[in-house]
Amino acid sequence: MSDQITIYHNPRCGKSRDTLKLLEDRGIAPKVVEYLKEPPSAAELARILSLLGKRPADILRRKEAAESGIDPAKLDDAALIQAMVANPIVIERPIVVKGAKAALGRPPESVLAIL
């Protein structure tokens, strides 16, 4: 696996900006994926979830999901992943991936564990 570090980033999100700055302050120039403009595919999101050790509902932004008409209680994991890909605003951010590891940047310092 590559040691390339990728951040799934929303520049309007303070935690996402803080996590990106934390990486840059350590001399890391991550690949920045603005996931609202370039949503991950279902396969990519499933891979990220596997690396995180989480299920789709674990990284679902509840308020945005409700506003998007997504009810996780009525969807299995595969359907929820499809809904998240179709409505990327509901995906919690930021997510940092390095090789076979991933971390959710909430708080931003939590990504240090995978570096």
pLDDT at residue 3, as a whole number:
80
Residues 6+ apart with CB under 8 A from 106: 15, 92
Nearest to 101 by CA among 23, 60, 61, 47: 47
Sign of CA dihedral 87, 91, 97, 101: negative
The one catalytic residue in 6, 13, 51, 114 is: 13
Q: CA-to-CA distance for 55 and 115, rounded, in angstroms?
A: 23
pLDDT at residue 38, as a whole number:
96
Tens digit of each residue's pLDDT (9 = 90 or more) over 44-94: 999 999 999 999 999 999 999 999 999 999 999 999 999 999 999 999 999
Q: Say if residue 98's pLDDT is above 70.
A: yes
Fold of 5-114: Glutaredoxin (3.40.30)
Whole-model pTM: value is 0.94
Q: CA-to-CA distance for 77 and 100, rounded, in angstroms?
A: 21
Active site residue 13: yes
Which is it for strands 5-9 and 101-104: parallel, antiparallel or unpaired? unpaired
